Amino acid sequence: MSNNREETYAKVKAQLEQREHVLRESWVKAMEARLVQEELGKCQKGEGVNHYENCKWLADKYLGMLKENRLKGYRRIDV
């Protein structure tokens, strides 16, 4: 009986650790996107009217990060 309880405890603990790891990685990616957004704003302010040409690569990178780096809730991870 206690062996079964220990197995269940180990499974739950492993699932919680995996969930925490995925959430942490998700937050790191979201913060990276925020940093790129801030750099894009600086670039646009600095370049003025030429920001469409000179900051395009940064805008494209930011748009790609918005699509890929969405935060994931723990319910989506467990499914």
Question: What's the confidence (pLDDT) of residue 31?
Answer: 92
**Which residue ranges of the chain lie beneath pLDDT 70?**
1-2, 72-79
DSSP symbol at 15: H
pLDDT at 77: 58
- Residue 73 has what pLDDT? 67
pTM given for the model: 0.73
d(CA 62, CA 36): 6
Which pair of tokens denotes residue 5?
A: 């309880």
User: In a 3-state reduction of DSSP, which class is residue 71?
Assistant: coil
52's tokens = 């469409």
pLDDT the model gives residue 2: 67
Q: What is the pLDDT of residue 1?
A: 54
% of residues, the chain, pLDDT over 90: 46
